[in-house]
Amino acid sequence: MNPIQRLVTAAVAALVLVSTTGCGTLGTIGKLEDGAAAEAGRMWDRWIDGNGDIAVATTWERQVKAGVSANDVAEILKQVAVERNMRDVGVLPLSKELEARSGKKEKHLTVYSYCSPATARKMVDFSPHMAAYLPCRISVVEKDDGLWLYTLNMDMMVKMGRKLPSPLKEEAMAVRDTIFEMMERASQGQF
């Protein structure tokens, strides 16, 4: 095949590919939040940097400043939740449970759960699959280099999916901003 024939063949193949698979993709792209592609790109980069670990790509993390205790973190999370009108809906003290079972000291691992009930209901009405992400959680994990905080990447939830109708979008952003503030303040020990 000469270069012209190869170019025509490639163009025809691309046209066939777009016409058979692109319609759904193009239709979906038009329904996404502005900036969805940029957020997907950030997630892709984190996935690559994490050697294919999907949890790295879909979470936020913060190392807790030296001198800030697990108890300080817990108090700050509670404080921000009250300030921002988020419900504390549960604490799962996994390391304490493991210690009770084994009688051995464990590295700290506690999962804190928070919710905005009205926003949660609206998100589930918008997409029932969102129920799998409820409630919002922040985990405190002790590693060899100290305490770390982990939570779901809320930008993925708010900025990467289908366009949220108003006022749900604003409410979802308020939840996102609250979780982000909790992570920031707790990691820095800012009461």
Residues in CB range of 159: below 8 A, 6 or more apart: 33, 35, 36, 39
**Residues 72 and 26 grouped into a single domain:** no
**Residues 79 and 159 grouped into a single domain:** yes
Quick check: is 37 in a domain?
A: no
Task: Write out the chain in H/E/C secondary structure.
Answer: CCHHHHHHHHHHHHHHHHHHHHHHHHHHHCCECCCHHHHHHHHHHHHHHCCCCHHHHCEEEEECCCCCCHHHHHHHHHHHHHHCCCEEEEEECHHHHHHHHHCCCCCCEEEEEEECHHHHHHHHHHCHHHHHHCCEEEEEEEECCEEEEEEECHHHHHHCCECCCCCHHHHHHHHHHHHHHHHHHHHHCCC
**Residues 170 and 115 grouped into a single domain:** yes
- Weakest-pLDDT range from 17-21, 108-112, 116-120: 17-21
Residues in CB range of 120: below 8 A, 6 or more apart: 134, 135
pLDDT in tens, 152-177: 999 998 888 899 999 999 999 999 99
Quick check: is 128 in a domain?
A: yes
Distance (Å, rounded) from C-alpha 114 to C-alpha 87? 5
Question: Is the pLDDT score of 49 beyond 60?
Answer: yes
pLDDT in tens, 55-76: 999 999 999 999 999 999 999 9
CATH number at residue 153: 3.30.310.70
**Residues 13 and 94 grouped into a single domain:** no
Token code pair at residue 67: 């001198």
**Residues 22 and 66 grouped into a single domain:** no
Quick check: is 38 in a domain?
A: no
Q: What is the dihedral of CA 37, 46, 134, 125, to 10 degrees?
A: 10
Quick check: is 117 in a domain?
A: yes
Cβ distance 191 to 79 under 8 Å? yes
Question: Is the pLDDT score of 48 beyond 70?
Answer: yes
Question: Is the pLDDT score of 29 beyond 60?
Answer: yes
Structural domain that includes position 4: 1-30
Q: How far is the first Cα of the chain from the last one, in angstroms, to the nearest whole number?
A: 71
**Residues 145 and 72 grouped into a single domain:** yes
**Residues 89 and 173 grouped into a single domain:** yes
112 - beta bridge partners?
91, 138
**Residues 18 and 101 grouped into a single domain:** no
Number of compact structural domains in the chain: 2
pTM for the predicted model, two decimal places? 0.85
Quick check: is 73 in a domain?
A: yes
More confident residue, 34 or 76: 76
